[in-house]
Each structure stands twice: as structure tokens, then as C-alpha cells.
Chain A
Amino acid sequence: MAEQHERQLVVFELGNEAYGININAVREIIRMQAITSVPDSPEYVRGVINLRGRVIPVADLRRRFRLPETEASADTRVLVVDIAGEDIGVVVDAVTEVKRVLNSAVEPASTLSTTDASYYIEGIAKLDNQLLILLDLEHALRGPALAGAAA
């Protein structure tokens, strides 16, 4: 089998930044729906939703990255991702596209500054007209409290 020299990413927007996560991690993308809040849950977890008869928790990356809260828009989506065997929903401002990115275009996180941010960033992809932040979702959702969003 030929060596993988590129990866496929789901690109979404959060705040003013564009992020990408590996398509393999995304189970589905659904519209925003009513969220039932659950008391005593982590601060960045909005609550739970009904996904075709299953109850899954929904996390808010805005809260996680300490971005100001906004109203949901028609573009708001929920990415259903597989984190350690469990389905978790992640609220994002919009999902823009699915993109193929060459591995050679990715700058790994280790070469970036060693702030808290690098904990949940896998790297930065340099594309023609933008920078894409490759998110390590597992760390982003499960790590300790973060100090600030990616610079």
C-alpha cells in the first residue's frame, strides 16, 4: 500500500479561525438542536441531545477556548466525533468544506511555542490563502482547563 502523504480534513470555523480535524474522527455532521443541560457537568459541556434515540453529550469549543459566547446561527453545526469510543457532539460556528492536505504542508505542533495551546494542537497547515489549525480533539475535549485560545 502506498504511503499516505496527505490527509483528509473536515474544515470548520470557530471565532475567526479555521480548524481542521481528521475526517476519520467525524461520524456525522448535524444541525444544531435543542440541548438539555445536565447539572454538575464540566463547564464547556452544554448538555445532551437526542441523536436518533441515543443520548450524547455536546461540548462547546467556544467555551473551551474561552471565546465570547454567541447566538447560534443558521450555519451552526454539531460535529459528532468519536472520542475514545464514545460519541461526543461538538458545536462549531460553521462547517466549510472537506479538504485534502499534503502532509508536507503541515507544521507539527512541537515546533510551535510551548504554551497551553500546543496541548491540543496537532499542527498548522499552510494552505494557499489561509492557515488551518489542526486540532487534537481528544486533548481539546479531555485535557485540563486551558488558559487561552490558539494565538
Chain B
Amino acid sequence: MPDYPDISPDELKVFLDEAESLLESLDEHIVRLEQQGPDDELVREIFRVAHTLKGSSGMLGFEEMARLTHSMEDTLDRVRKGTLAVSEAMIDALLMSLDGLRGLKDRIATGADIPVDVDSIIAALVVTAEAGAAPVTQAVSNRTLGSVLAADSAAAARVLAAVAEHRVIRLLRAEFAPDSEWIAVRCLQVMNEIESLGEVLASSPTPAEIDAEAVGTAIEAIVALNADTADEALEATLRAVDDVRAAHVADVDVTALMLAAADAPAVPSVLETPSGKGEAPTSPRGEALQSSVRIEVTQLDAMMNMVGELVIDRTRVAQLTRVLGERFSDDDQVRALSETAQHIEKIVDSLHERMMQARMLPVGLLFSKFPRLVRDLSRSLNKQIRLELEGEDTEIDRSVIEQIKDPLVHLIRNACDHGIETAEAREAAGKPAQSTLRLVARHEQGQIVIALIDDGRGVDAERVRAKAVERGLISPEKAERLTFQECVELIFEPGLSTAAQTTEVSGRGVGMDIVRRDIESLSGHIEVESHPGEGTTFRMRLPLTLATFRGLLVGCGRTTYAIPLTYVRETLRANADEMHMVGGKQVMHLRARDAVLPVIWLDEALGRTERSTELRIPSYVVVVRASDSESERPMAVAVDRLIDQQDIVVKSLGGFLGRTHGVAGASILGDGQVVLILDIPTLIKSSQQDEHAVTEAVLERIA
């Protein structure tokens, strides 16, 4: 970080961290502003954020940043006051300002020569403000005047009287240069000019407000003219006043005005101070922020590692003290040790839980970047796409959050680029021109499920099938027998791209295999569901945390394996009369549930031994299931020993081993033994595919 003579490194760091957080906030809010339209609360919030940023950058002497935020503030203030409508161009200018601010911040942080043309950005803001003010919708100005009329029944009566007398009534509006220091004075001058033209029926700001210098950057008045002066002449008169940058004259829709007056809360004129000194409402978050601290992620990770080790040791200590306790049940020292050990166990558990909590972040932090992404994408692709977020406060471990960002971005890009049709195509198909993309997060049985749902054209299964054959990924015969779902799932195969043309946005759409690989390397899973013409859904299941989980330790032959408890439905003693061989494969008939489950032997499933066609009776079976959704079928894992249920600390296997089928990672037990963690969903899937193959084999024989 470069040196700033008057600023301590700590101060600088705090400023930069805060700035980043404010900029992210602005990004999110501005995009929401575009989608939802002007919402008082939202605009006030955006104003507050920009104001805070202006303050802190100004205080440290970062003049350009302060200047740019001031300009944004101005624009926002007028929106806040209702004298400026939110337009597409304005949103663009605001976002451009945001990018400029980011560039400035990066320049401050790294000292790199990042060019940011602050002046031209400010000019853009001003221009959109001008353009936005010109055709000031009657509704907007009526609202301001409306509230005046609501407060002042005399004024309302005057307007009605003037209408009844068929007088020429005009709405006059003058806008001042925002940096003028004499706005109150100018308002007075404008009022004088107007009074020479006719009778002022109502004005905003009111004369009382002008006296108190409670003015904004514009003044509006409803005037009953003395003579039928042309609008241009009226405008010229207004513009003759110093500091008046723009003047407009328009018709008064009295009905609308009166309705607005009826609607407007009869608030006495709010003596707001001029923009720049606006009051920032304290948000409840503001207080909460004071009581939190910032901590380096590396610190947090280091602590997490240590706690992970503690958890392993705590299990070991529990085992040892149990053994000792049994062996020396009369010894006082041993008893004391047992008690202390128990206490330690409790504390370690608490610590572990809090550590996990500390690492949890709401997934919304990640999601917040996406509305902007979708907005930019829909612009550059010339499509109308709206992103809806759900479940933003679902919490997930920060390590997982970091890692799913890229896959999610890729999926979103893909959906926008390939999945969603142009507005014309959609309308031709009887769909609304605007497409809705939904990103949903929720907890489900110890996992977090993130789904991306689009209402686009769906996956063209036939095209995928053809491409797969063309690329030599599967044989034509095999291709023909694939079901619709299997064809859709082919998109995850490397080397497959069905984009007719490559687009700049998402490349060749070949990233799906990388997406799956990334998700699986997190011990997660991704599934796809598609309906032609209706849309596609990608569903990712991820562990809540990568660090630890509760697992069932089982023994198979001489090897110990760990099965994440989240997949375990039950454990049973195996009965010989429940085991059968069907088509060369072993199945189990669970009489109590009248269900038939495939039985897998881990040695075979993991490729260590050849598949046996003989019936073998294990000691126990562990019934597992990938999830509780209807489409998921349970499976029985044959084991020799049920060892223990305990907290398992997950250790990655690293990249050197490549993709290991059926193994999700490794763990170290209290006694130092390395056990493999089973990847249950993959094992289930393989066994189902085998079934499919068996069924095929059987069908072939019949044919």
C-alpha cells in the first residue's frame, strides 16, 4: 500500500475496508432501485451510504472521491425530494460513478495508476439530471406541490377558485445550480418574478420555507397568470434570474393535483437542510456495526484449524479416560481426571460450535454481486432478464462461499446467454418478454441447497445427444438408449458445447464439467432438471461447512470408512432371509417397509475387488440416501462393523490423486489413523447406473 504522509496505515485500512463495504452496498441498492423504481426508503438508504462515503473520503483528504460522491449525492437528493425521476440513463450514470469510485479506491489502495475521469463522470450525472428534469412528470411535481396543498388548505382553496374562474393556470419550475450558495435568495428572486406575472397560488418551497432557508435545488409554483403569456416567455423570465440553470413551464392537471393533495400526508413543510448536510438516518444496522470487530481471515482460519485439532484430541481423550475409568474405577486421581476430561469435552464442543458460527456468513453476501452481473449481461445480450434472490440470509461456511462463486457466476452467465431467449422469441412463444431468473438458497438436512431456476428454453436434449455422438463421447447405440434426463446430464461431460455460436459473454459453454468438478471438490453435488420450452433448474447441494461433520465410522474388511451422518437413514443387523440375488446383483428386501434396496459392498464399489455374483451376508447394513426427495432411492451399504459416531474433521486429499471415485475426502481419527470419507451420492448414482446396465442386459437377452 502506498504511503500517505498524514494517514496512518491503520486508518487507511479501516477507510478502505469501509469503502469497499459501502461500495458493495451502493451496487446492490442501485440495481434494486432500477428494478423496483423509486422507493423512498431505498433512495434514502442510497443517499445515506453515498453521504457516509463522502464524509470519510473527504476527511482523509481524498478529494476526487469526495467530489464524485458529492455529485452522486446531489442527484440522489433530487430523486429523494421527488424533483427528479429515476431513468435508465441515470442508473447508468450512477453505476458509472460507482465504477469510478471503485477505481479511485483501488488507486488509493495500490498506488497503481488507474485512470478515472472524475470530471466526465460528474458531467454525465449532471446531464442525466438535466434530461431527467426536463419532462418532469406531472406526477412527480404534483407530489411535492400536492403535499404543500395538503398542508395548506387555503392554498388548495385558491387553486380551486382559480380553476372555477377559468383563469390560465400554469406550473412554473426553476432549477438552480446546485453549488450556488444563494439558493434561498434566488428562490425569493424567482418568486418576485413570478408575482409580476400573476398570482402565486401555491409554491414549493413555501414562502415560510424560503425565509427559513429550507430550500432544495429547485422551486415550483402554481400560478394563475395575469395574461396568456407564452410558455417560452415565462421560461425566459425565470432563466433571467441568476443561478437558474433550467426553467420549465407546464400545464397543471388540477384533478391529479387534488388527488395528490388528498393522498399526500399532511406533513407540515419539512425544514430540510440543503443537500450536503442532509441528516443521515441511523439504521439499526449502524448500532450493530459498532459492536462487531474486523478480523483477518487468515486468523480465523488458523483458529479453525486449531479447533479442528482440538476436536480430534477431545474424542481421543474421551476414549482414553473411558478405558482408564473402567480399569481403575477406584482410583481417585483417575476419577478426577475423568471429571476434568468431561469438562474439557464440553468446552471444546462449545468452542467448536462458536467457531463454526463465526465462520458462517449469509449467502446473500455472495448473491449481492449478482443483480449487477445479470443487469449488465441482459444489456449486453439485448435480452430482458430479471434476477430474483431468495434465502439470502441462509448461512454457509465462508470457505464454501469463496469456492462456489465461480461456478455460480458461470451458471448464471450460461443461463443468460444460452438458456434465456430474446424478448421477441419469448413473446412469439407466448411467454412474457422479461425473463425471471431465480437464485434460491435454503437449508435442507445439514446441507445447503442453492438452486438457479430460469424460465428459458430448456436444454435441447436431442441436440446434446447428437453432439455427444458427434464428439465421440458415446457410441450411437448407447446414445439412442439414453433417457431424456440422461441426455440433459450429458451437458456435464467435458468437451461438449452446444452453443451455435460462441459469444463473448460465456465463451463456448464448455465450463459445465468444470462447474461440476468445482462443486464436487467441495463434497457437493449438482443436478440439472429441464423442461423444453419452460426452463432449466440447476440444483447444488453443499455441505454447510467443509471443516467438520458428524460421521458414522464403519469397518469393512480391514478398512475403516466414515459415512457422513447426513446421508444415513438407519443401521440394521442384516438378516439372511432378507438378502437375495437378482440379475447378478445383491438386493435387500426390507420387509418392514416393503422396500427393495440395492446392496453395495464397499470393496467392490470402490474398485478394490472384482464384483462377486455370490450372495454374501454382511453383519450390518447402513441404509443411506442422497436426500429425501422422491427421486432419490435409498441404498444399503454392507459393513462388517459399526464402530462409532463422532465428529469427523475433514482433510482434503489434495489434487495429486485426481478424481477419486466414491471418496469425498479423508479424516484423521484420534488414534492417528487415516480413514476415507465415503462420497455417498456418487456411490448411489453408480449403483443405479449399474442397475440400468443390468436391466439393459436383461432386455437385450429378451430381444
Contact = CB atoms under 8 A, between A and B. Distances in A.
Contacts of B607: 39-40
Interface stretch (A3-11, A44-52, A68-76, A116-124): A44-52
Contact of A42 (B657, B666, B667): B657
Most buried by A among B606, B654, B658: B654
A56 B654 contact: yes
B668 A50 contact: yes
Contacts of A39: 606-608, 660-663
A50 B674 contact: yes
Contact of B668 (A42, A53, A86): A53
A141 B667 CA distance: 24
B666 A48 contact: yes
A36 B657 CA distance: 13
B673 interface: yes
B281 interface: no
Contacts of A87: 654
Contacts of B653: 38, 48, 55, 57
Interface in B303-318: 309, 312
Given A50-B668, A55-B652, A55-B668, A41 B658 contact: yes
Interface string B600-612: 0000001110000
18 contacts: A34-B674, A36-B666, A37-B608, A38-B657, A38-B676, A39-B606, A39-B608, A39-B660, A40-B658, A40-B663, A48-B653, A48-B657, A50-B668, A53-B309, A55-B651, A55-B667, A57-B654, A86-B656
Interface string B465-479: 000000000000000
A37 B676 CA distance: 9
A34 B673 contact: yes
A45 B657 contact: yes
Contacts of A95: none
Given A37-B608, A40-B663, 20 more contacts: A36-B666, A36-B676, A38-B676, A39-B606, A39-B660, A40-B607, A40-B659, A41-B658, A45-B656, A45-B657, A48-B653, A48-B657, A48-B666, A50-B668, A50-B672, A50-B674, A55-B666, A55-B674, A56-B654, A83-B656
Interface in A2-49: 34, 36-42, 45, 48-49
A40 B651 contact: no
Interface in A66-91: 83, 86-88
A83 B608 CA distance: 27
Q: Is the interface of B mostly helix, strand, loop or mixed?
A: loop
Interface residues of A, number: 22
Interface of B: 309, 312, 559, 606-608, 651-663, 666-668, 672-676
Contacts of A41: 657-658, 660
Given A39-B608, A49-B674, A86 B658 contact: no
Q: Is the interface of A mostly helix, strand, loop or mixed?
A: strand
B601 to A, nearest CB: 13
Contacts of A42: 657-658
In the A-B complex, the 10 residue pairs with the closest CB atoms: A39-B606, A55-B651, A36-B674, A40-B661, A55-B666, A41-B657, A40-B660, A57-B656, A39-B607, A50-B674
Nearest to A33: B672
A100 B658 CA distance: 36
A56 B651 CA distance: 9
A38 B664 CA distance: 11
A55 B606 CA distance: 19
Contacts of B666: 36, 38, 48, 55
Nearest to B666: A55
A49 B676 CA distance: 11
Most buried by A among B607, B652, B660, B666: B666
A110 to B, nearest CB: 28
A90 to B, nearest CB: 11
A38 B660 contact: yes
Nearest to B662: A39
Contacts of A34: 673-674
A45 B660 CA distance: 12
B350 to A, nearest CB: 22
Given A50-B672, A53-B309, A55-B651, A38 B656 contact: no
Contacts of A88: 656
Contacts of A57: 653-654, 656-657
